């Protein structure tokens, strides 16, 4: 993700499986299966290089009727975790 641009995208060459209840993601270079559950699959599908963090937050608030401030904190943590796992750019 470019600093200041705040428009994350999934890294290319990730392998995914949508099980209905969750999304399983694996990096091409490893064999660790990451599980995205709860609201994570909804957010993951918006991380496509065309939705800014603010736009994702708008969609979250609309979909789940959550407090914006809290949602922003949770989203920030989730994005950081994805970045640490090298799943987004």
Partner 1 sequence: MNEYRLRVGNAVIALVFGSERDRAASARYFSRPSDHGPADIQLSIRFRDDADERMEVPSSLFRTKLGNAERFSMAGGLIEGRYSPSSGEGELSVQRLITEGGYARIYEQVFYQAYWSAVWRKGLDSLLLHSSGVIHNGRGYAFSGRSGAGKSTVARLSPGATILNDEITAIDLSEPSVMIMDTPFNASFRGKKRGTAALGGILLLKQAPFHRLTRTTGLEPQKTLAREIIPPMGLETSFSPARFMDMFDLSQRLFKRIPFYIMEFQQDPRFWDLIETIGG
Q: Which one, of 48, 43, 50, lies nearest residue 81 by Cα?
A: 43
Note whether 86 binds partner 1 by CB under 8 A. no
Q: Tell me phi and psi for residue 59, to 5 degrees.
A: -65, -40
Closer CB to partner 1, 26 or 83, in the complex: 26
**CB within 8 A of 59, min separation 6: which ones?**
42, 46, 51
Q: How far is the CB of 87 from partner 1 (least distance, A)?
A: 14
Nearer to partner 1, 38 or 76 (CB): 38
Which stretch in 16-24, 44-52, 58-66, 68-76 sits in contact with partner 1 by CB under 8 A? 16-24
**Radius of gyration over alpha carbons of the chain, in Å?**
13
22 binds partner 1 (CB under 8 A): yes
Task: Kindly report the number of other CB atoms within 10 A of residue 84's CB atom.
Answer: 9
Structure tokens at 21: 């209840």
**25-84 binders of partner 1 (CB under 8 A):** 26-31, 33, 35, 37
Q: Which residues bind partner 1 (CB under 8 A)?
A: 15, 17, 19, 21-22, 24, 26-31, 33, 35, 37
């Amino acid at each position: 993700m470019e600093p200041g641009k705040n428009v994350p995208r999934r890294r290319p060459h990730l392998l995914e499986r949508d099980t209905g209840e969750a999304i399983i993601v694996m990096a091409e270079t490893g064999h660790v299966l990451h599980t995205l559950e709860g609201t994570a699959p909804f957010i993951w599908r918006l991380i496509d290089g065309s939705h800014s963090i603010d736009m994702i937050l708008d969609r979250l608030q609309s979909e789940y009727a959550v407090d914006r401030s809290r949602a922003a904190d949770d989203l920030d943590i989730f994005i950081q975790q994805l970045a640490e796992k090298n799943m987004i750019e």
